[in-house]
Structure 1
Amino acid sequence: MDRLSESQAESANSSEILVSSARNTIDDQLLDVLEAKFAVLRFQMRIKEELELIASKLEDAQGIVESQGNAQSDFEIAKAAKDKAKELALDLKSITQLYNEYTLNFQHLKE
């Protein structure tokens, strides 16, 4: 009877170790996913801030540019930048969306 009890105890202990190991693996995977999403969110916030800065600079310079004839173009770019910044404030995007829809479209304005 002692031998049977020892065997059952060892089996239970092994099961607990397996469950604990599986739980740790799942926790690690979840943590990795959350860290990746947080990194994308930080990147999204940076893009949003840059778009707001671009819009602000274009609006501030609009009075100066009006005399040169580019006011409408700058106004449209400023409005587009503001609209995209608002979109970013409302919804979490994927890294691919951020690159394709925001970074590429407004990259030339930073140069």
Structure 2
Amino acid sequence: MESVLKRLRILEEGISEVRKIPIPTWFHNLETPEEISLIRQAKREHHPVFAELSGEALMELNHEAFWKGIAEGIIDRISYSPRLESFLQKAVENSLISPENVQKLAVFS
């Protein structure tokens, strides 16, 4: 896995480009709470950014920031992983996420 600082630098550069030229842009394979925070800020500034969280990162780290990002609509989709469906079902059962939020997410392979 790339260093967190390198990943953040690359994401910051991408968001900076969107700030200059507001073209809708997807940021894929996000893996850290810090990346979610940068996307949150860009969305608060009304920039046309969209976020895809790594399904593997969600399951491995199970970080509160990911669940909050999903609930707030910061995360637009989750990349597919074979165990993801059952993981999300358990998250609903444990009240980490609402069924409505799961339905809003697009899960892609």
Question: Structures share a fold, TM > 0.5?
Answer: no
Higher helix share: 1
- Normalising by structure 2, report the TM-score: 0.25
Write 1 or 2 for the structure with the bigger share of strand: 2
TM-score w.r.t. the length of structure 1 is 0.25
Bigger Rg over Cα? 1
